[in-house]
Amino acid sequence: MAPSADDIVKRLDTPSFGQLIARRRRQLGLSQRDLADLLCAASGRPTVTRHELSRYERGIRLPRRRALEALASCLDVPLRELEQANADRHRRVPF
């Protein structure tokens, strides 16, 4: 079934996963490097880089479950909100 016009408008008005985390990062006054450092500490993975965050923000990559949990914690965003934005990425209407 094709999406309704209301569904399309709602999806276009809803920030993407990358937009959501970039906006929240900036609201907290964090650079990508700052957030990467926080994610390293929270996830126990010393390999999270600002380049990885850039890929998340640009929609090139999506974090796995553990990284998503750490990201929610570091950004003080409900995990469910990030999961929803992550799931919505697959349902975006192409132009």
Give me the number of domains the chain comprises. 1
What is the domain extent for residue 23? 16-90
How far apart are the C-alpha atoms of 62 and 53, rounded to whole Å? 9
Is the residue at 43 inside a domain? yes
What's the pLDDT tens digit per position in 25-37? 999 999 999 999 9
Which tokens go with 36?
A: 């990467």
Is the residue at 27 inside a domain? yes
Q: What is the CATH number of the domain that holds 61?
A: 1.10.260.40
How far apart are the C-alpha atoms of 56 and 16, rounded to whole Å? 10
Confidence label for 89 from pLDDT (cuts 50, 70 and 90): low
Which tokens go with 1?
A: 């079934």
What's the pLDDT tens digit per position in 42-54? 988 888 899 999 9
Is the residue at 75 inside a domain? yes
What's the whole-model pTM score? 0.77
Is the CA virtual torsion 56, 50, 28, 68 positive or negative? positive
